[in-house]
Amino acid sequence: MLALTKGDGMKDGKDKMTGNLLRSAGARRQAELKERREKEGFKKKTLWVNAKDYEKGINDAQLGSKTIMDFPEECDAFSWMLGYSEWIAKFEKIRREKMRDGRPD
């Protein structure tokens, strides 16, 4: 019986040309983005976010009922703060665009 090892067959495991030919335009863009971000000092991380606490952070930011350091003890602090800070950042972006366009609140 003939045993095949990695690299045997039609595709050589060391053949980078075949992999590049099969790579999609989207995959190339993602690889380029990753390379740029790494050069800028970013590190990619996978995060677990509690959706309920994230939404509560957004709601609290919209109501203005709490500050970023006043997160509820029953909430996951990271998830709540992420929701809170993302809403604040979005609000600030909109406010700056209005000011730039000469449209005060």
Query: pLDDT of 58-93, one tens digit each?
Result: 999 999 877 777 878 899 999 999 999 999 998 888
| DSSP category for residue 11 | S
Query: Rounded to an integer, what is the distance from CA 61 to the centroid of its chain?
Result: 21
Q: Report if pTM > 0.75.
A: no
CB 35 within 8 A of CB 60: no
- Nearest by Cα to 52 from 62, 60, 44: 60
Query: pLDDT of 14-64, one tens digit each?
Result: 555 556 556 678 888 888 999 999 999 999 888 999 999 999 999 999 998
Q: Does 2 score more than 50 pLDDT?
A: no
The structural domains of the chain, with segments of one domain joined by +, span: 51-100
CB 71 within 8 A of CB 77: yes
| Dihedral pair phi/psi, residue 37, rounded to 5° | -65, -40
- Nearest by Cα to 80 from 104, 49, 36: 49
Cα gap 76→101, rounded to integer Å: 38
